[in-house]
Amino acid sequence: MAVVLVDAGGTNIGSVRYALQRLGVDAELTADAALIRAADKVILPGVGAAGPGMARLHELGLVELMRSLTQPVLGVCLGMQLLCRRSEEAEVDCLGLIPAHVQRFVEAPGMRVPHMGWNQLRVRKPHPLLSGLSEKDWAYFVHSYAVPVGDYTLVTADYGGEFSAVIAHDNFYGMQFHPERSAEVGAKLLKNFLVL
């Protein structure tokens, strides 16, 4: 099975690659359109801001390619947000693959932004991506912007209100948390993605 990590400049690329290696998959880091198109699974990692993330995809000539992919595609953290229609962060147009508008968390007493730390997951819809996931599971988040809950939401978490923690629309999937830093839960979800 060929798995590629899209080299969109995310700072978590190394840790995602290592998490996949622990599952027995050596994912190639690439910006080569032909390799991405030919892969069985595509992962778009990312840590940072939506504006520079989209600028990098435009610079690499990968925007239309990402939109045309038919194999399973997983966005992680910022990568998940880039799959959406638009982000409030710099009011940037994203890939438009998930019908959602990414919004910034509203700061409130006791709620610092960015949201950093472990948060409980709540399954809203059954899906093969979630095989083995339970209401007792937690994942590790670091983000200031979130995808609101919608028809595409498989799993939510709560930080001053519910937001999407795992999303799916057609062949596009997203995890707002860091599966590579979420211990057994993250490994389980990555493994599930690899067998979709």
The answer to whether 180 is a known catalytic residue is: yes
Residue 190 to residue 23: CA distance in whole angstroms: 8
Active-site position among 94, 115, 143, 178: 178
Active-site position among 77, 84, 94, 115: 77
Burial class (CB in 10 A: 0-12, 13-18, 19+), 99: exposed
Residue type for position 192: N
Residue 149 to residue 98: CA distance in whole angstroms: 12
Burial annotation 114-131 (CB, 10 A radius, 16+ → b, else e): ebeeebebebeeebebbe
CB-side exposure of 107: number of CA atoms within 13 Å?
Answer: 4
Active-site position among 84, 89, 143, 180: 180
Would you name the residues annotated as active-site residues?
77, 178, 180
